[in-house]
């Protein structure tokens, strides 16, 4: 290959990588991380802490990785800030993005979505903002109430924005603008879907491809919606009217089937999606895995996640919904996966390496995160063989 052609190829490739947005719960939006050759077990004191940083304010969002940097949101004295760190843990800069949520469980909720030089974030008060990542200047702002007829939720908006190409997706929950796709450079509406006209439910949508059709799916207060991500056409709606309207777990898609779930005794439902994505039908329902907001993962044909009122950790057969294993030695919490292992972060601050074998479902190694503030609710992230766990005003990085 001639040098000039090779240079052009590498330039275009690096530009494409730079422009790829990070996603909530990993590169596929499902809690799965691609890191391999990770430790089979940890030392008695837990994995080595590589570095920590304090002063990140109140918040429950996860770190985002882009441009060889780390981005987090946090609240200090009611103002929300983006913190930009080097991958060695040095604070490079911070800048305000707007007032944050201060009523119940105060702090930032949304994980920043970074695409090249732009950061996309939704505040707990429902303001959508696009910022320049170098200086924090707002490129555009929209509000779910003023611009889309939606309204805030009891515990504050918790949706992390999904970006694909030139579109940014959000779920204002208004009667007309229930789900919208905006031009990510200007904030102008590209399409609007009325859905069922119900409020949002704290859920970050999942964008997936089904038989060459891009579909956006998310939980609203009484249903799961499927929308054509290109046109905004409502493809299907499946009811989920339960005790509470708190449905923050992103659904899981796999080979034409989708699973959605929540806490408060609700459990989960698995649906089969028609080939043209125009309809769905139920395959099974189970009330054992009741993750309130810690997500679940699908690994080797089994679902893993925690309970809620039914406490403990559960392993469900993906095909049948049968509970095949349980583990009761830990508090409820968040789960992600990498390298055929489960990584748990519980409500009591336990950081756990878990064996996902349904016939030998148990904790392999664990430690306790004692630094930080408020509840242990942030979803961990695995990046370059390190486990990043945010606890309020502290980010702790473990070598795994």
Q: What are the DSSP calls for 48-96, one per residue?
A: PEEEEE----BB-PPPEEETTEEEEEEEETTEEEEEEEETTS-EEEEEE
60: left (phi over 0), alpha (psi -120 to 50) or beta: alpha
How far is it, in rounded angstroms, from Cα 233 to Cα 191?
9
- Pairing state between β 49-53 and 394-399: antiparallel
Using CB atoms within 10 Å of the CB of residue 380, give its burial: 0 to 12 exposed, 13 to 18 middle, 19+ buried: buried
pLDDT tens digits for the chain (400 residues)?
Answer: 555 444 444 443 344 444 789 999 999 999 999 999 999 999 999 999 999 999 999 999 999 999 999 999 999 999 999 999 999 999 999 999 999 999 999 999 999 999 999 999 999 999 999 999 999 999 999 999 999 999 999 999 999 999 999 999 999 999 999 999 999 999 999 999 999 999 999 999 999 999 999 999 999 999 999 999 999 999 999 998 777 788 999 999 999 999 999 999 899 999 999 999 999 999 999 999 999 999 999 999 999 999 998 899 999 999 999 999 999 999 999 999 999 999 999 999 999 999 999 999 999 999 999 999 999 999 999 999 999 999 999 999 999 9
> Which distant-in-sequence residues (6+ apart) come within 8 Å of 289 by Cβ?
261, 267, 268, 296, 303, 305, 306, 307, 314, 316, 323
Please give the CATH topology (third level) of the domain spanning 3-399: Methylamine Dehydrogenase; Chain H (2.130.10)
> Which distant-in-sequence residues (6+ apart) come within 8 Å of 255 by Cβ?
none
Contact (CB, 8 A) for 302 and 256: no
- What spatial distance separates the first Cα and last Cα of the chain, rounded to whole Å? 39
- Pairing state between β 206-210 and 32-33: unpaired
- Dmax (CA) for the chain in angstroms is 65
Q: pLDDT at position 241, please?
A: 74
- Segments making up each domain of the chain, as ranges: 3-399
pTM of the model: 0.94
């Amino acid at each position: 290959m001639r040098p000039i052609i090779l240079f052009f190829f590498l330039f275009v490739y690096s530009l494409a990588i730079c422009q790829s947005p990070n996603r909530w719960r990993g590169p596929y939006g499902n809690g799965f991380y691609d890191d391999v050759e990770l430790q089979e077990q940890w030392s008695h004191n837990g994995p080595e802490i590589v570095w920590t940083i304090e002063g990140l304010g109140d918040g429950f969002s996860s770190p985002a990785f882009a441009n060889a940097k780390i981005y987090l949101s946090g609240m200090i004295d009611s103002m929300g800030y983006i913190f930009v760190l080097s991958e060695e843990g040095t604070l490079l800069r911070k800048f305000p993005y707007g007032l944050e949520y201060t009523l119940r469980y105060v702090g930032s909720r949304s994980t920043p979505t970074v695409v090249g030089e732009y950061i996309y974030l939704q505040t707990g008060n429902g303001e959508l903002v696009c910022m320049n990542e170098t200086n924090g200047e707002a490129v555009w702002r929209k509000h779910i109430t003023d611009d889309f007829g939606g309204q805030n939720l009891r515990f504050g908006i918790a949706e992390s924005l999904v970006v694909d190409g030139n579109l940014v997706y959000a779920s204002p929950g208004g009667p007309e603008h229930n789900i919208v796709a905006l031009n990510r450079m200007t904030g102008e509406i590209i399409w609007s879907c009325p859905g069922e006209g119900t409020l949002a439910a704290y859920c970050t949508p999942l964008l997936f491809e089904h038989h060459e059709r891009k579909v956006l799916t998310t939980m609203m207060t009484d249903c799961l919606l499927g929308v054509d991500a290109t046109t905004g056409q409502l493809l299907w709606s499946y009811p989920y009217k339960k005790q509470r309207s708190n449905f923050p777990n992103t659904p899981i898609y796999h080979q034409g089937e989708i699973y959605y779930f929540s806490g408060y005794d609700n459990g989960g439902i698995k649906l089969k999606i028609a080939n043209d994505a125009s309809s769905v039908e139920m395959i099974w329902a189970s009330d054992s895995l009741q993750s309130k907001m810690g997500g679940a993962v699908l690994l080797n044909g089994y679902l893993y996640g925690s309970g809620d009122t039914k406490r403990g950790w559960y392993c469900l057969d993906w095909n049948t919904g049968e509970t095949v294993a349980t583990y009761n030695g830990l508090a409820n919490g968040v789960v992600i996966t990498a390298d055929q292992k489960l990584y748990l972060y519980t409500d009591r601050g336990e950081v756990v390496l878990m064996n996902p074998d349904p016939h030998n479902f148990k904790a392999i190694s664990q430690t306790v995160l004692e630094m930080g503030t408020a509840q242990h609710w942030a979803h961990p992230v695995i990046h370059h063989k390190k486990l990043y766990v945010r606890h309020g005003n502290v980010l702790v990085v473990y070598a795994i």
